[in-house]
Amino acid sequence: MNLTVTDDAGATNTTSKEVAVIPAETGNYTEIGGKIYCLVKGDLLFYFDVSFTGHCGMYSGNGKFVDAHPDNNQTGQGSFPCFRTINAVNESEIKGSRFDKSTTSCYRVNTTQAKRDAAVEWAKGEIGKNYSLCPPTPCDAGDEWYCSELVYCAYNETNITLGEIGPFGYVWPESITLDSDVQLLSPIGGFDTGSSTYPSIMGKHTGTIKPNHTVIATKLYTYPCKGTGGHTEYAEIRNATWNATATWKGYVGDWHNISFSEPFTLVANKTYNYTIKTGSYPQIRHTPELPTANGWINCTTFTDVNGMVYYDWIPAIKLWS
């Protein structure tokens, strides 16, 4: 596929290089820019900023990253391009950081986890070192780093060469992400039935859900019929060993969504039961079962507010984070 990235000013950059998108099913579930990724130590974070080079860092586990960036410390020396920022290699929380935005992409290096771990530990060993663009040659045995040099040299220590030495002797961040040993990670999606329309009535729905990918959920959104207050008053998602519940708080704030007490995971190709009690006029998918882009959902029973029972009324909902 073609990869297009957008910087904070709205400018785009597109490359025609084919980049594989792979689902990630093990690791740390991490929110970045409103998307959920399943990251392992050694994964790469990248975005284009107002510069033409972009910026990259390395996931170090437990929601943190290691990078070399001049904004990590305001104490500087010299002038561009050999400006030096003191103590600018840091480990930081992703949440609220420069990487916590929708334009960030995540990548995985195709190697063993042992080598990824070793690369991270090497990079962490450089924490407290300076940021500088001089000299450009990677791994020059100095104590000063620019962002992609730190990543390049961390993996070089494990005998993996990422990216290419480009113009003026630098290894650019984008060059690393386009390396044949690096793959783009896809974010983990939710489960969405899509919208529908009338006829509609409030009641109690029961059925099963079988996602075709891992779903991390904290909320349930109910599609309301146009001009109504259609919503879910109570939801339970469960299997034989656990359950998650959510209760509506009334027509306040973001009333279309109800939040579960804690995040939960639906595993790909596993079946879960749901009970959903609705109010007003929610949208309904009028079919006994519904294949979706995210998996499959069916209706076991729907009992409306008047006591009528149906077997082909599926609530139009979205499980998401």
Low-confidence ranges of the chain (pLDDT < 70): 1-27, 49-52, 72-81, 83, 141
> Which residue range forms the structural domain that includes residue 260?
191-320
If asked whether residues 29 and 137 sit together in one domain, one would say: yes
If asked whether residues 8 and 136 sit together in one domain, one would say: yes
If asked whether residues 154 and 39 sit together in one domain, one would say: yes
Number of domains in the chain: 2
If asked whether residues 280 and 147 sit together in one domain, one would say: no
pLDDT at residue 73, rounded to an integer: 63
If asked whether residues 231 and 299 sit together in one domain, one would say: yes
If asked whether residues 75 and 181 sit together in one domain, one would say: yes
Last residue of a domain, one of 164, 185, 206: 185
Residue with structure tokens 């009992």?
303
If asked whether residues 170 and 32 sit together in one domain, one would say: yes
pTM given for the model: 0.64
pLDDT at residue 74, rounded to an integer: 57
Last residue of a domain, one of 151, 185, 219: 185
If asked whether residues 71 and 211 sit together in one domain, one would say: no
pLDDT at residue 141, rounded to an integer: 63
If asked whether residues 172 and 198 sit together in one domain, one would say: no
Last residue of a domain, one of 129, 163, 185: 185
Q: What are the structure tokens assigned to 243, written together?
A: 């359950």
If asked whether residues 39 and 90 sit together in one domain, one would say: yes
pLDDT at residue 79, rounded to an integer: 56
Full 3-state SS string of the chain: CCEEEECCCCCEEEECCCCCEECCCCCEEEEECCEEEEECCCCEEEECCCCCCCEEEEEEECCEEEEECHHHCCCEECCCCCCEECCCEEEEECCCCCCCCCCCEEEEECCCHHHHHHHHHHHHCCCCCEEECCCCCCCCCCCEECHHHHHHHHHHCCCCCCCCECHHHCECHHHHHCCCCEEEECCECCEECCCCECCCCCEEEEEEEEECCCEEEEEEEECECCCCCCEEEEEEEECCCCEEEEECCCCCCCCCEEEEEEEEEECCCCCEEEEEEEECCECEECCCEEEECCEEEECCEEEECCCCEECCCEECEEEEC
